[in-house]
Amino acid sequence: MNVDAPARTLSKAYANLDPLRPLQGEWLSRFYVERPLGSDLGTLQQELELDPSPNDKTLFTGARGSGKSTELYRLASLLSPDHLVVMMNVEPKLNLGDVDYRDLLVLLGVEIYQRVREERIQVPAKRLNDIRFWYQQHILEKIRARGASPKGRAKIDLLFAGFELDLSANAELRQIIRSEGRSFLADLIERLNALLDDVQKKAGRRVFVIVDGLDKVFHEEQVRQLFVEGANALMAPACRLLYAIPFALAHDIHFQQVRNSFTRFYALPNIKVYERDGQPYPPGRDALTRILHRRIAPELIQEEAVEALLHYSGGLIRELIGLTRSSLIIARQKRGDGGPITREDVEQAVVGVRNFYRRELTEAEYEELARFRKGGPFVQSDVALQLIRNLCLLEQTAAGTAGGRFIRSCSPW
């Protein structure tokens, strides 16, 4: 697919302004903009490059819509010269309403196996056969024994040859994996670690697995339990591992013990639009403006409209892109494909977003938000965590890289 960057008409700009699509491949090279110092992955990248360990473990998080997946794709690209990177997005392959650590590890084994095959790394055939045999014995044969229909089972001749382990809608497969995993997961990990050891020796590179999408699990408690019940197993693969988790868990005191058992924890800061004292923050605003102008030509959107979009986005890239797309639709209805988008269009688009946020808030959340806006300190509570989840409170970096962080009310909503 050809990318028109920046788009010169509103209809073409609409395709570029997909708020749910992370940047990878051609989109990453065309649309990516460096984030301001202190809100990028520079520190994490340095740590990963300097740490000589072949099996360190990282927890990674950030606010919903802050650009986490895009930054992880970019990190994978930056580290690929010295690593065999396995980018594993669990969102389309796991049932996000029913997640178990055994599902995750069985899927991880398939992803690593396929990546080794794609790279044609010359490991002993026994290592690959050992992995293949485990899946045949503990999954495929169990499926056959249950007499599942051909449509509902994985075909053995397709296993690991374009085989996709999709647990999103197959409850029977999830049940088999969890039953077999209860007794035989340690055996899979042992076989997988033997493969990983040979891969690193033959390729001369460390293996780095990035597990993205866990932050999108419907019930945050499931992710907490996944790491509490399966912590040892999730840290057992003998490779570098990064798990992306829900942002609210970073503020959850009950998750701290799990967090402390990992090598490092990194929270991606939001791009700052305002200073702590409410003054505009030029580096953040410049970065967000360039993000827009990579996708839509400046003549299609007035400067006042850009300023309004920066204000209402709260520094969240998904909010910025989504609100711009909504404003684009309004502008095209009024003025045709040549636009431009005006501030009035943005204000009209904001009405619908504001109403959505207001419907989401409970009375207790309104009270807590009002207290915070009057200058009250951030206080750890279930209500405060919910305000972070629904983006009414945003965590941002203070000025400079050593300025710490502060919580800011997303006042436009």
Domain segments of the chain as ranges: 40-268, 282-407
Q: Does residue 83 register a pLDDT over 50?
A: yes
Q: State the sign of the Cα–Cα–Cα–Cα dihedral 91, 95, 100, 101.
A: negative
User: 364-413: per-residue pLDDT in tens?
Assistant: 888 888 887 777 777 778 787 777 777 777 766 644 433 344 455 454 44
Nearest to 62 by CA among 207, 242, 283, 281: 242
pTM of the model: 0.86
**Amino acid at the residue 407:** I
For residue 317 the two structure tokens come to 């890239």
| pLDDT bucket at 231, cuts 50 / 70 / 90 | confident
Q: Which ranges of 51-124 would DSSP assign to H, the alpha helix?
A: 68-79, 101-119
- Nearest by Cα to 178 from 231, 139, 137: 139
pLDDT tens string 152-199: 444 443 444 445 566 666 777 888 888 888 889 999 999 999 999 999
CA 58 to CA 210: how far, in whole Å?
Answer: 9
User: Is 208 exposed, middle or buried, given 0-12, 13-18 or 19+ CB atoms closer than 10 A?
Assistant: buried
User: Do 138 and 127 touch, CB atoms closer than 8 A?
Assistant: no
- The tokens for 226 are 């996944």
Distance between CA atoms of residues 259 and 367, nearest Å = 31
According to the model, what pLDDT value does residue 157 have?
38
- pLDDT tens profile 84-112: 999 999 988 888 888 889 989 999 999 99
Give me the mean pLDDT over the 352-363 stretch: 76
Residue 398: how many other CB atoms lie within 10 Å: 15
Task: Tell whether the model's pLDDT for residue 225 goes beyond 60.
Answer: yes
Pairing relation of β-strands 393-397 and 405-409? antiparallel
CB within 8 Å of 255: residues ≥ 6 apart: 224, 227, 249
Q: What is the signed CA dihedral for 102, 90, 72, 163, rounded to 10 degrees?
A: 100
The DSSP symbol for 140 reads I
In whole angstroms, give the CA distance from residue 92 to residue 59.
21
Per the omega criterion (within 30 degrees of 0), is the bond before 124 cis? no
Collapsing DSSP to helix, strand or coil, 219 comes out as coil
Looking up tokens 């001369």, which residue turns up?
204
Of 1.10.760, 2.60.120, 1.10.3470, 3.40.50, the CATH number of 40-268 is 3.40.50
